[in-house]
Chain A
Amino acid sequence: MISLSGRQALAAMQVLAQQNGRRFVPVRRLSRIIGASPHTLARIMLRLTAAGLTDALRGPGGGVRLARPAHEITLFEILQEIDGPEVLNRCILGLGICDEVRPCPLHAIWFPCRQQLRRLLAETTLADLIHRPTNPNQPKVPCA
């Protein structure tokens, strides 16, 4: 559903959000924390920086950090930068453009699910990933 790069980007952004956003974290350290290859993560962070979601600083003491407050970055924005603007719009059978006019056999089943997932990701910010919820019905412990 979400590519491996997309998942790694989310995990990396979650770690950066936990740093209160102001400290630069070296990409190599970030890659160790989330268990990704430093090269792959460097490519991911380049794209997120180009998209204005992170700032990068070269040299000693450098690294990456969030460019905006965590509550202003949604999970959907991050995934869109990594998996492209068509993330979650792809045909579930891989048949290219797939809509009401030219549906694949699974379109009618999949479309409402896709919309629901998209809404969930667009309504959740990085701050939601790190803040302890006050609502007792929500999960109490964020992901490690």
Chain B
Amino acid sequence: MFSRACEYGLRAVLYLASLNQNGYVSIREIGERLNISVPFLTKIFQKLTQAGLMQSLRGPSGGVMFARSPEEITLFDVIVAIDGPDLFTECVLGLPGCGEATPCPLHDHWKEVRNPIRNLFASTTLADMARRIQEARLRLTA
């Protein structure tokens, strides 16, 4: 469903949100905690920073932090920042020529599946997820 970068990015922001702390957190710490390569994670955070979801600070006490409150960042925002909007706009089979004018047989059915998924991701904030993770002690590592 998601690219590897998006899987890692979601885990990283969910981890940050569940830490529930102010200030910068080093990417090295996040990578070590979640068992993700630090250079790869750095690239992922660059995308999140460019999208205006995170801010970063270089240097020894630097790292990343949310650019706005996790109450105001949805799962949809994170997914689109890393993987782009295709998942929520393209047809599931990716058959050439499929579109509203010449839909494939799954096009309309997929829209019925896709739009609720999109709405769910767009209405779930990182703060919602952080609460769930803390309450149910959900895992962010394999």
B97 within 8 A of A: yes
B72 within 8 A of A: no
Contact A120 B110 (CB under 8 A): yes
Q: Which of B96, B108, B109 lies in contact with A34, CB distance below 8 A?
A: B96
B129 within 8 A of A: yes
Contact A120 B109 (CB under 8 A): yes
Contact B139 A104 (CB under 8 A): yes
Contact A138 B105 (CB under 8 A): yes
Contact B120 A109 (CB under 8 A): yes
B28 within 8 A of A: no
> Which residues in chain A, 92-115, are within 8 Å of chain B measured between CB atoms?
92-96, 102-106, 109-110, 113
> Which residues in chain B, 49-71, are within 8 Å of chain A measured between CB atoms?
none
Q: Complex Cα distance A121/B106, Å? A: 9
Contact B142 A120 (CB under 8 A): no
Contacts of A134 in B (CB 8 A): none
Contact A139 B139 (CB under 8 A): no
Contact A113 B105 (CB under 8 A): no
B140 within 8 A of A: yes
Segment of A7-15, A43-51, A57-65 engaged in the interface with chain B: A7-15
> Which residue of the partner chain A has the closest CB to B141?
A95
**Smallest distance from the beta carbon of A68 to chain B beta carbons, Å?**
19
Residues of A within 8 A of B (CB): 1-2, 7, 10-11, 14, 34-35, 75, 90, 92-96, 102-106, 109-110, 113, 116-117, 120-121, 124, 128-129, 133, 138-139, 141-144
Q: List 7 A-B contacts (CB under 8 A).
A: A94-B7, A94-B8, A95-B11, A117-B110, A124-B105, A129-B95, A143-B103
